[in-house]
Amino acid sequence: MDDEFFQSLKQRMDNSSELTKVEFTKESKERVLEKLHRTNDENLQKRNRWRGPISFALTAILLLGTGYFGLGVIKNGNQFNSSSENNPSISEKNDSSNESNKEERNQLTKKAIKKLMMHAEENFTTAKGEFTYHRSSVDLNEEVQFKLSLEDPFGGYATSRSNHEGNESSYYFNEDYIWEVDESDKTYFKADNQDVEPLLKPVTQSIFPRKMAIDYLASMDLWSIEEQNAELNGREVFIIAGELSDYGKELNAADSFRFWVDKETGILIQYEIYGMDGDIIDSLYTKTLEVDKDLEEFDYEPDLKGYRSLD
């Protein structure tokens, strides 16, 4: 079937009734040109709307500027006189505009941190490490080790050991499938990898913290950057902290949080979620993390001999 089938594939597809119905018609082309016209007209109108006022403003600035310097020369015999000591109103204006510039820059950096966390998978190709995870509501302590690669060959695994009856689980993913393996029960669950995002259950909240960013950083006013240049586990981090929204507090039965975000990748190296009384109710502490190092060959598929499928 091979060669001949694929050599003639294009022709077969072109002749199929499903695709012969797909034509880009004259009406569609006209709609494109019409839309371009409209966009160009709108842009032209915007430019013309501002042309008059801008040229008036420029003229005014020129005249005022000339007058200001002229007066300065007459008054002090100096060519330039812009000292803030002599012009307190300018100094105050400078201070408050400095504050608002700082606030703007801070907002930009907050946006940048959130974006970094949402797209962490774009900032590294391999990762390997271990961390501990704790959730007090269910008295869960978990130790997780993981290794993954986002370049060819694409895949990874993680093992998780919890204090719940010594439960041990493994998680694997490759290009095509995800496996969840219960090592204690010798059972497993296998699903198609939908290729939406790389998924490796126990490490997702740290290595791909998109959901943490969405859930906790939604309201920009409720959190701030505590430190821009801290260090943790040999890596440079931002420390950010804030309060959950009213809805978030109810949903998560939590009050506030602190995140340690890796500056290079957006990985959430550490986090603490606090209850109403300030106690830590949910936390993740990284013990080791290596990023973009060569990984020795490892198996992206579990050996499931003797395991029962739960599908």
Binding site for another protein (CB under 8 A): 1-2, 5-6, 9-10, 12-13, 15-19, 21-24, 28-29, 31-33, 35-36, 39, 151-154, 175-176, 192, 194-196
Q: Which is nearer to another protein, 175 or 227 (CB)?
A: 175
Each as own residue / partner, the long-range contacts of residues 222-231 (CB below 8 Å, 24 or more positions apart, any chain) are 223/110, 223/257, 224/106, 224/110, 225/106, 225/109, 225/110, 225/113, 226/258, 228/109, 230/260
Break the chain down into helix, strand, coil percent, rounded to 5: 40, 30, 30
Annotate 147-168 with DSSP letters as a single string: EEESSSSPEEEEEEEESSTT-E
Amino acid occupying residue 99: E
Q: Which is nearer to another protein, 31 or 308 (CB)?
A: 31
Q: Which is nearer to another protein, 154 or 307 (CB)?
A: 154
CA distance 83 to 64: 18
Q: Which is nearer to another protein, 129 or 155 (CB)?
A: 155
Instruction: Give the tokens for residue 259.
Output: 């995140």
CB of 149 to another protein, least distance (A): 11
CB of 47 to another protein, least distance (A): 16
Q: Which is nearer to another protein, 10 or 305 (CB)?
A: 10
CA distance 189 to 146: 19
CB of 44 to another protein, least distance (A): 14
Q: Which is nearer to another protein, 15 or 87 (CB)?
A: 15
CB of 311 to another protein, least distance (A): 18
Q: Which is nearer to another protein, 26 or 305 (CB)?
A: 26
CB of 156 to another protein, least distance (A): 15
| Strand segments (E) across the chain | 126-135, 140-149, 155-162, 168-174, 177-182, 187-192, 223-232, 235-243, 256-262, 268-274, 280-291, 308-309
> Is 229 exposed, middle or buried, given 0-12, 13-18 or 19+ CB atoms closer than 10 A?
exposed
Q: Any bridge partners for residue 192, and if so which?
A: 177
CB of 148 to another protein, least distance (A): 15
Instruction: Give the tokens for residue 219.
Output: 């309201």
CB of 297 to another protein, least distance (A): 15
